[in-house]
Amino acid sequence: MERTFVMVKPDGVQRNLVGNIIACFEKKGLKIIGLKMMRIPRELAESHYGEHRDKPFFGPLVNYITSGPVVAMVLEGKDAVGTVREMMGATNPLKAAPGTIRATYGMDIGRNVVHGSDSPTSAEREINLFFRPEELVNYQRDVDRWIYE
C-alpha cells in the first residue's frame, strides 16, 4: 500500500467543496489516515512548493495557498499517488480530462482546487512537512476485503 499527500486548496474550502472532494477519494476506496484543516504558514508554503521557487507564478502561488484555510490529508491505497493524480486531472482545469476533479470544479490554472503529490518521493516529503507521525492513524478497515481482492 502506498501513501500520498492531498490537499483541498483555499478556493476549494471557500467554495464549499471540501465534502465533495473528500467524497471522491473515499468512494474510490482510498483510506483516509490523516486529516486536518489548517492555515499554511508562509515558510511551509515556500518549502512545499520549493521546486517552483524560480517560476514566475511562485509569488502568486504562495499568496494563493496561504490566503485561507486548507484541508490537508494523507490517503493510503494501491498506487495511491498515481491514482490521486489521475483523479485530479491536469494542472490546468481547462485541459483536465472530463470527469476529473479539476475539470469538474475548476476554470483557472491558478485556482485548481486540489493538490496531490506527484511521486512517492514527493509524497513522503510532503507528508512529513504537513503531518507529525502521531497524527497519522493506524486502523483496520473492514470494508477493505470488498475493495481489494
Task: Give the residue numbers annotated as catalytic, written as ranges.
Answer: 115
Q: How far apart are CA 106 and CA 102, in angstroms?
A: 5
Q: Smaller CB distance to Mg ion: residue 118 or 135?
A: 118
113 Ramachandran zone, left/alpha/beta (phi>0; psi -120 to 50): left
Q: How far apart are CA 68 and CA 48, in angstroms?
A: 16
At what angle are helices 120-130 and 80-88 packed, to 10 degrees?
A: 90
Q: Which residues contact 15 (CB under 8 A, 6 or more apart)?
A: 105, 113
Least spacing, CB of residue 149 vs Mg ion, in Å: 32
Least spacing, CB of residue 91 vs ligand IDP, in Å: 3
* Residue 148 contacts which entry, Mg ion, ligand IDP, none (Cβ below 5-8 A, type-dependent): none
First to last CA, the chain: 14
Binding mask 107-126 for Mg ion (x = CB under 5 A): -----------x--------
Residue of 118, 124, 129, 136 that binds ligand IDP (CB under 6 A):
118
Q: Smaller CB distance to ligand IDP: residue 118 or 135?
A: 118
Q: How far apart are CA 122 and CA 67, in angstroms?
A: 23
Candidate ranges 23-31, 32-40, 67-75, 108-116; the one touching ligand IDP (CB under 6 A): 108-116
The reply to whether 63 sits near ligand IDP by the rule CB under 6 A is: no
Q: Report the interface residues with ligand IDP, using CB under 6 A.
A: 52, 57, 61, 91, 109-110, 112, 115, 118
